[in-house]
Amino acid sequence: MSQRTLVLLKPDAVRRGLIGEIIGRIERKAGWTIAALEMRELDQDTLEQHYGEHKGKPFYEPLMGFMASGPVVALVVEGERVIEGLRTLAGPTDPIAAAPGSIRGDFGTIVRENLIHASDSEESAQREMKIFFPGLV
Ligand code: IDP
């Protein structure tokens, strides 16, 4: 079942020089390909569209500040069961709870600065791809 998913390499990943490392792990999964890629800074409107579901939670404002603190790399990744697969590759939200071998488990310690976003469902993937790559067909 080929799918597409939206991935963000968060500002901490870019600042720490981990773009190549993380994209390399994605590219090494058999049959997965990068369908779109862009490095950009995110404005408040884009961030609200992306993380609006968390508005009102205690971590929301610091998360918005962090996500606007530097450029991110946005990607669309395509391939077999890529939505579930990228969530596995990323690991759970808390990097300390994430298993070694996962991106968050190998490189993260702070819940907010957990390196990578990956859509959590087919519905989220469709919604998020439209925010970051509106021209993509
Ligand atoms: P996910 O990125 O693993 O899908 P979400 O619950 O959608 O996790 O949260 C979005 C992002 O908000 C997380 O990746 C993380 O950066 C941040 N976040 C979530 N929960 C917390 C928290 O309890 N403290 C600080 N930041 C958090």
The pLDDT of residue 136: 92
Quick one: three-class SS letters along the chain?
CEEEEEEEECHHHHHCCCHHHHHHHHHHCCCCEEEEEEEECCCHHHHHHHHHHHCCCCCHHHHHHHHCCCCEEEEEEEEECHHHHHHHHHCCCCCCCCCECEHHHHHCCCCCCCCEEECCCHHHHHHHHHHHCCCCC
- Decide if 45 is inside a domain: yes
Say if residue 137's pLDDT is above 90: no
Average pLDDT over residues 109-118: 98
Is 48 within the bounds of a domain? Answer: yes
Query: Does 56 map to a domain?
Result: yes
CATH code, domain with 105: 3.30.70.141
How many distinct structural domains can be found in the chain? Answer: 1
Kindly report the average pLDDT of the chain as a whole number: 98
Question: Tens digits of per-residue pLDDT, 60-110?
Answer: 999 999 999 999 999 999 999 999 999 999 999 999 999 999 999 999 999
Residue 66 domain-assigned (yes or no): yes
Q: Given this model, what pLDDT does residue 74 score?
A: 98
In a domain, 137, yes or no: no
Residue 31 falls inside a structural domain: yes
Give the residues surrounding ligand 1 with Cβ less than 6 Å away.
59, 63, 93, 111-112, 114, 117, 120
92 CA to centre of ligand 1 in angstroms:
9
Does the structure show a pLDDT above 90 at 125? yes
pLDDT band for position 47 (50/70/90)? Answer: very high
Structural domain harbouring 116: 2-132
Ligand 1 centroid to residue 43 C-alpha, Å: 19
